[in-house]
Structure 1
Amino acid sequence: MERGGILCQELTTQTSRLGEGITLLNSDGEQRTPVTKIESSLCYLLTIRVIRARNIHQADVLSQTDCYVSLWLPTASTNKFQTKTVRNCKDPVWNETFYFRIQSQVKNVLELALYDKDVVTRDDHLFTVYFDIAKLSLGEQVFMHFKCDSQRQEELEVGFALDNISGPPETIITNGVLVSRKICCLEVQVVEKKKKKKKKEKKSLSKKEFSFKVQGSYEGTQDIMLGSDLVFSSSSPVKFHYVRYKQPTLDVTLPGKKRPPSLQSRVYDKGSPNLELHSFPSGKNMILAEDKGFDLYAKAEDCPDHLDVRLGFDLCVQEQDFLCKRQKYVAPALKKVLQLEQDLLDHETPVVAIMTTGGGMRSLTALYGSLRGLKKLDVLDCATYLTGLSGTTWTMSNLYRDADWSQKDLGKQISEARKHMTKCKINSLSLEYLKYYKKQLCQRKSEGHKTSFIDLWGLVLESLLHDGKDNHRLSDQQRAVDRGQNPLPIYTAVNVKNNYSTLDFKEWVEFTPYEVGLQKYGAFVRVEDFGSEFFMGRLMKKVPESRICFLEGMWSSLFSLNVLYIWNLSHSSEDFWHKWTQDKIDNIEEDPLLPLKPQELRTRLFTPPGPLGSALRAALTDRLAVAQEHNFLKGFQMHNDYLENKHFCRWKDTVLDTFPNQLTQSEEFLSLVDTGFFINTSIMPLLKPERKVDVILHLNYSAGSQIQALDQTCKYCSEQGILFPRVDLSEEDRKNLKECYLFDGAETPGAPVLLFFPLINDTFQKYKVPGQKRSESEMEDGKVDLYGCCSPYSTYSIQYTEKAYDRLVDLGEYNILNNKDLIMQALHTAVARKRQKKK
């Protein structure tokens, strides 16, 4: 399709709230080129003529099908349109024409759905054709025959034309994956006219109610109530934010009139004004209606081209600033531990990351030991990142309350955690706590959050791990990294979708003290704004930042499981269940055959499942509870070339990636669950090329198989084309794991060096510290039953004895200290590669 880029200027990926106008540098100090642009892009007129259908199969038992076609093009209009119904006919003819104004840089996919009209029951959905408008050429008219069923010779005939449209081009902002379009703000005001009061006239108590609706706007419907007895009354204006070129309409219901019976109606009552907004003059106060008792005024103005969502795939300004500051700690620490003679230059300093897995209280406890071991080796100061999920996020959020935790001895932190791990937990279900939970949930709901059982779980965690209410928030952790004094924490979750298994649909979400974002779309918001309401990248309603206990509940939402997840615990394939749960999507023939360009989608046919299939799918995929937060991608549209974008392709792994109308930007809420429901790893943020991680210390705390999550990560990275070292373990090693493995990634240039620490009890049984054997009286302390049937370290255990806690902490520390040589080897390898790369 012809492009409409008349004006194009580079725009920094940060908005003014995130550092607009700042020259951005990458981690090597070189100026980078921002990928987000503000452009002036043409709109086109799309004409669709629904002509006829042939050989439609009989949907009713006693009669032929009563057919009509529904047209849905969400990128161009907020309304669904439909043809008239042709009754009792297998070869219906409509010959109806519809018009849409489309944005040339947006992926416009038209959905043509054929229905059978039923009077008593719900209309039968026969099929839907998905047609990519990018197939059409400007200035040409084509008549398409969609072959919906070759055996029955069912087909749908539709005519298309794409033409230039008069008027100025539209200003858009895009990062090559998402597009933010021009939005306007409409103000509507009711002014009641003066009335002459008669002597001795009593006050009237009647009121007048006005209802206003802009379909597809952020606000939706708003009402104004005016008293009719005042000498003069003027309402406060109601506001609507809407996409200017999506054919929006202001629908007004005047006092005494009926509300609109249908969302698709355009005129509801005679005398009730309805206005097409895309042609409304900007900045002028217009009179919509005049009456003896009142006047209606409206004024529309363009909103500034400023986004509160950061569109971009590079690191935010704050993280880049942190990297510069952290290097001042890392370089001398590496020089010390590696016993180098000369200082490390910036380009010679590797980025080291500590990566953890989940495992409930077991992972919380063992991580303390691992970090204490790294601290004793002075390796903790060499780390730039620390990532976590599930139980390790509890440890991390505890640590980062202290702005200088990694610069101190960890004994105090470990002792504090010990107190809470060993205390009686029954008090968390006391009447006093239950009243507290209810009060907090009511307050959270009143603030504007959408509450669920996961929020209650977060409050229970707060009572298990703290004394009283914890007011700590994720943004408070900025104090712990503002000087680069600690590794930058990254917490992970996955965004899922209703009616889909986690394997079929999941999107990585990362949380830092600075931002929350979906790396697949290159969309990030300030952590203080996460949970607030957004529209087309603009902050519409500020909601108070969540206390971190609610995030901990979401990061470790063990209640978000479904039947398919339970099935996957014992099987490696969903093939059997996919027969019942996956959508039936087929590529179909079209006549004439239009040439397929790289960025265009094949024409496809969706056949809906029957009632039994739908019920079974819901039973298999519905999750017990999901944490929901307002979707900051709401309103964005997908760029016409999003499937060719290298950033999107890196994380493109869901069954809906080629269905742009159904991706996350169309959802009201993000549905966030524990990352462990896909892979028990927090490694994905570290594999972003922009972070340039050179060494990863993989601290595994999984139950059962210690190698499963690593194998799954390798497989995933291989499928996605993400650089990752090859994990080559012999059968003997898999049966009898050692304490540490080094995978240097030599066979995969560009991959990080990986140090893998499974949580096992090997030489710790005989040695209390490396090189020092246990005495007979100390042998009992080496008996740490991690995974036996009577183990105290079950993932679902919430209370340990003091001995069990101490032994697990000591084991985590020992396994680090006992593999000092491998850690040093990995760091030496990374430094050597950095030097070689610069040469």
Structure 2
Amino acid sequence: MLQRQVPAWVSHNLLDPGQAEDGSPVATCASEETLFPCHLLTVRVVRMKNVRQADIVSQPDCFVSLWLPTASHERLRTRTISNCPNPEWNETFNFQIQTQVKNVLELSVCDEDTVTPDDHLLTVLYDLTKLCFRKKTYMKFPLNPEGMEELEVEFLLEESPSAPEALITNGVLVSRQVSCLEVHAESRRHKKHGKMKDLLVTVKESFEHTQRVSHCPNPACFHYPKYFQPQMHVEMPKQQWSCGLCCCAHKNDPVCQPLDCLPEGQAVTLPVNENCEVQMTSTPCSQPLDVRLGFSLCQAELEFLQKRKVVVAEALKQVLQLEEDLQEDEVPLIAIMATGGGTRSMTAMYGHLLGLQKLNILDCASYITGLSGATWTMATLYSDPEWSSKNLEPTIFEVRRHVVKDKMPALFPDQLCKFQEELQQRSQEGYKVTFTDFWGLLIEACLGDERNECKLSEQRAALCRGQNPLPIYLTINVKDDVSNQDFREWCEFSPYEVGLQKYGAYIPSELFGSEFFMGRLMKRIPESRICYMLGLWSSIFSLNLLDAWNLSHTSEEFFHRWTRERVHDIEDEPLLPEIPKCDANALDTTVVIPASWLSNTFRTILTHRAFVSEFHNFLLGLQLHTEYLQSSEFSKWKDTVLDGFPNQLTQSVNHLCLLDTAFFVNSSYPPLLRPERKVDLIIHLNYCAGSQTKPMRQTCEYCTVQNIPFPEYTLQDEENNLKECYLMENSQESDAPTVLFFPLINDTFQKYKAPGVERSPEEMEQGQVDIYGPKTPYATKELTYTEAAFDKLVKLSEYNILNNKDKLLQALRLVVEKKKRLKSQCPP
């Protein structure tokens, strides 16, 4: 290890208030609580004209359902008007809304059926941002201009007598005020032989929903958004009281109690019947958020980077033979980016890292990102807090032993029984067990000798002094009923935090898998062992048929025609011309026509994910800010059709569905492209099968569409005759990182066993490495290699790094000079 001297610019007070003594990050929000008034919304569903027929047998029996998930989880509905193509309801519904969140009212027109399920004819999505305050807005929605089909609705937005609501927001997500309701049952008369059974208490708007409340000192707790106008329902099961020889069985209607009128902090008694009552107390939930809402890096990562700069500055001084120390603002941020590829990527990555270590360039990197098989390498290395300062060759030799061993014992009945017992324990802890959990246990058995107790958060020990690069593992969050081309979101994992960068929402890594509501921890579940994370990060079994089609074909038109609902925007000018549109940022009014039964069946078959990884959603309950689409941070990663449909985004679902990133783009660039990280140089280590340039081309195209600074793609003419290394930069964009691209190819290694050292005739066979041929031993599906195949791939990867030392040094000099140039251009 190099003897390092600490430069004068390094701060010695490295423990920040945002960091605990053990190095774990403490959730800090981008904004403090701010009070905002609530408003009363009145919706009058007036009438509908020329309703389309769901069938040719009868006239429609029409009703309208209303759903406003930002104000209530309950769907309201009008009465049904039978056999009428022009129904008139004139029914009024009231909501209490918060205008700081994006409120989109869904008006669904349905045809009621008595025998079969109701026919869903259409849904109108109306952004309430368009409403003007204190003025009635009378809307006539033209649903089908050709058929003169119209829906008429009247809106009125007024002040609410309720007190202002305390909100926390980062400009994309909003955490609303939460109250905690404590409930316990009391007996109103004591019977000598009587015993009161549990009551069923339900608060639909709460996180807990329904609980059994017993006659005991410990109350049941319900956490609910204060301004959702919630109600508590108390239900008594049958045979509530039993005494002696007789059994008195009776069942009354549920007792209902509105909660928005309860005085804060005061106990209230609610009689249930003549025999029992419930005591309830509602108090504000005032503890700070456990979800960090903010787009900046967490304090722990900032402190790590400060420490890592010391290592990087000294390494660059030696590698580039600089005469003077680099100043703090002259130290570039360098990252190693690895792609997926199963055992091939795991093995080749060891060779690449060994080469970088021999050139002392490994100490120049501040980040390592990976996905799929590359995470197997990263997780193994970070089990040793000092791995990058030790010779990697003994570690590679140990990995070799596991790669070449027989994998069949991992599938023997006794081993499968152990897997089953552990998965049952995992289920009891509160996880939703899936096939990817079994896959994680299988990886552990194939790549190790015994159970590995390490966890992701424990990798902080490898970062406490900045002694290793910070590892970041990447997946995508998808939906289980659509293609990942229609919806996906980057989800990054580090030893400090797990987060969805589009929303600016992060939790400490040890809390991933626990249950959250409105940004607060509700139920802590033990942190997963690292093997389960490996199964998640390389969940190769989560593909659905539509994903497979998208991977193998460029045209999606045929399948989308049959699997998507018909969505089109409509004109929604109010009938009262003196009322202007009050918000130019409002979403267009949209009509959604459900697909046919045949299309829905086809869609289910194509989009079903049998083995997707599901974890409790830490965004549950949070709502989108009214201007979330205008947020530059959200827009940077807004890239799918559902981003403009706030009611369908991630904050409304119970579970995250996490997928191997390789099913979209086989690269782990996104964490490094966050502007908060400002990475200067990315060393791209490629391990994908097939086209070596495809991940680079896809990343360039993605960044162009998303307006993310990145080098232009310049390898079209090189795709069939690749070199070992390419230096890519964008001189027109100062914020664009420099990229050093290493495709996994066998070029000069065939004739040279080391840079400048030719092979003898007897050694020529060692240079023949069939990486992608039809009989290659390195196919992605292969978990086992021969010793010779393993050694060849490691030596090839190491050679490709060592043979391009000049390119690596050139790239390092470029980014150091760029940092100095930018520094000189900045005013003092």
Please give the range of the TM-score, normalised by the shorter of the 2 chains. over 0.9
Shift of 1:293: 2.7
CA distance in 2, matches of 1:34, 1:304: 14
Contact 2:131 2:581 in 1 (8 A): no
| Aligned residue identity for 2:197 | K
1:152 paired residue among 139, 144, 147? 147
With 235-244 and 587-596 compared, the bigger mean Cα shift is at 587-596
2:376 paired residue among 386, 394, 403? 394
What are the residue-to-residue correspondences of 1:470-549 with 2, within 5 Å? 470-549=452-531
CA distance in 1, matches of 2:273, 2:68: 37
2:747 paired residue among 725, 746, 762? 762
1:633 paired residue among 619, 629, 643? 619
Shift of 1:615: 0.8
- Do the aligned partners of residues 707 and 563 (structure 1) sit closer, same or farther apart at CA in structure 2, a change above 3 Å counting? same
The match for 1:829 is 814
Name the SS of the counterpart of 2:329 in structure 1: helix
What are the residue-to-residue correspondences of 1:345-424 with 2, within 5 Å? 345-424=327-406
Name the SS of the counterpart of 1:656 in structure 2: helix
What are the residue-to-residue correspondences of 1:503-652 with 2, within 5 Å? 503-592=485-574, 595=581, 597-652=583-638
Are positions 1:689 and 2:675 aligned together?
yes
Contact 1:741 1:755 in 2 (8 A): yes
With 167-176 and 759-768 compared, the bigger mean Cα shift is at 167-176
Between the aligned residues of both structures, percent identity stands at 51
CA distance in 1, matches of 2:536, 2:297: 24
The match for 2:757 is 772
CA distance in 2, matches of 1:196, 1:94: 52
Name the SS of the counterpart of 1:837 in structure 2: helix
The match for 1:710 is 696
The match for 2:780 is 795
Name the SS of the counterpart of 2:290 in structure 1: coil
1:109 paired residue among 104, 112, 130? 104
Shift of 1:196: 6.0
Are positions 1:218 and 2:207 aligned together?
yes
CA distance in 2, matches of 1:19, 1:55: 64
Shift of 1:568: 2.5
The match for 2:7 is none
Shift of 1:498: 1.8
- TM-score, normalised with respect to structure 1: 0.92
Contact 1:331 1:382 in 2 (8 A): yes
Contact 2:131 2:582 in 1 (8 A): no
Show CA shifts across 1:311-345 (max 9, x none). 00000000000000000100010011111111100
Residues paired across the two proteins, number = 793
Contact 1:687 1:693 in 2 (8 A): yes
Are positions 1:679 and 2:661 aligned together?
no
Shift of 1:58: 1.8
Are positions 1:296 and 2:278 aligned together?
yes
The match for 1:726 is 712
Contact 2:38 2:99 in 1 (8 A): yes
The match for 2:243 is none
CA distance in 2, matches of 1:62, 1:773: 84
Shift of 1:167: 2.6
The match for 1:181 is 176
The match for 1:39 is 34
CA distance in 1, matches of 2:273, 2:62: 44
2:311 paired residue among 317, 321, 329? 329
| Aligned residue identity for 1:108 | N
CA distance in 2, matches of 1:486, 1:746: 30
Shift of 1:271: 6.2
CA distance in 2, matches of 1:568, 1:63: 42
The match for 1:245 is 227
| Aligned residue identity for 1:393 | T
The match for 1:262 is none
Name the SS of the counterpart of 1:689 in structure 2: coil
CA distance in 1, matches of 2:787, 2:628: 54
Shift of 1:191: 1.3
Shift of 1:273: 2.4
Shift of 1:748: 2.6
2:736 paired residue among 751, 754, 778? 751
- Do the aligned partners of residues 279 and 803 (structure 1) sit closer, same or farther apart at CA in structure 2, a change above 3 Å counting? same
CA distance in 1, matches of 2:428, 2:682: 42
Name the SS of the counterpart of 2:443 in structure 1: helix
The match for 1:141 is 136
With 593-602 and 740-749 compared, the bigger mean Cα shift is at 593-602
The match for 1:4 is none
Shift of 1:623: 1.8
- Do the aligned partners of residues 144 and 292 (structure 1) sit closer, same or farther apart at CA in structure 2, a change above 3 Å counting? closer
| Aligned residue identity for 1:181 | R
- Do the aligned partners of residues 756 and 586 (structure 1) sit closer, same or farther apart at CA in structure 2, a change above 3 Å counting? same
Name the SS of the counterpart of 2:583 in structure 1: coil
- TM-score, normalised with respect to structure 2: 0.94
CA distance in 2, matches of 1:333, 1:602: 54
Are positions 1:77 and 2:55 aligned together?
no
Are positions 1:450 and 2:450 aligned together?
no
Contact 1:15 1:309 in 2 (8 A): no
| Aligned residue identity for 2:337 | M
What are the residue-to-residue correspondences of 1:656-667 with 2, within 5 Å? 656-667=642-653
Shift of 1:16: 8.5
Are positions 1:90 and 2:62 aligned together?
no
Contact 2:232 2:258 in 1 (8 A): yes
Show CA shifts across 1:790-823 (max 9, x none). 1100000010000100000000000001111111
Are positions 1:127 and 2:122 aligned together?
yes
CA distance in 2, matches of 1:503, 1:241: 36
Shift of 1:655: 1.2
| Aligned residue identity for 2:125 | Y
Contact 1:176 1:642 in 2 (8 A): yes
Contact 1:537 1:632 in 2 (8 A): yes
CA distance in 1, matches of 2:470, 2:17: 23
CA distance in 1, matches of 2:442, 2:416: 9
| Aligned residue identity for 2:198 | E
Structural RMSD (CA)? 1.9
Shift of 1:269: 8.1
Contact 1:45 1:99 in 2 (8 A): yes
Q: Which runs of 5+ in 1 are unaligned?
A: 1-13, 25-32, 198-202, 227-233, 259-267
With 595-604 and 243-252 compared, the bigger mean Cα shift is at 595-604
Show CA shifts across 1:156-183 (max 9, x none). 0000001111131000000000000000
CA distance in 2, matches of 1:103, 1:18: 33
| Aligned residue identity for 1:216 | E
Name the SS of the counterpart of 2:641 in structure 1: coil
CA distance in 1, matches of 2:347, 2:209: 49
CA distance in 1, matches of 2:585, 2:570: 18
- Do the aligned partners of residues 257 and 188 (structure 1) sit closer, same or farther apart at CA in structure 2, a change above 3 Å counting? farther
CA distance in 2, matches of 1:401, 1:270: 60
The match for 1:171 is 166
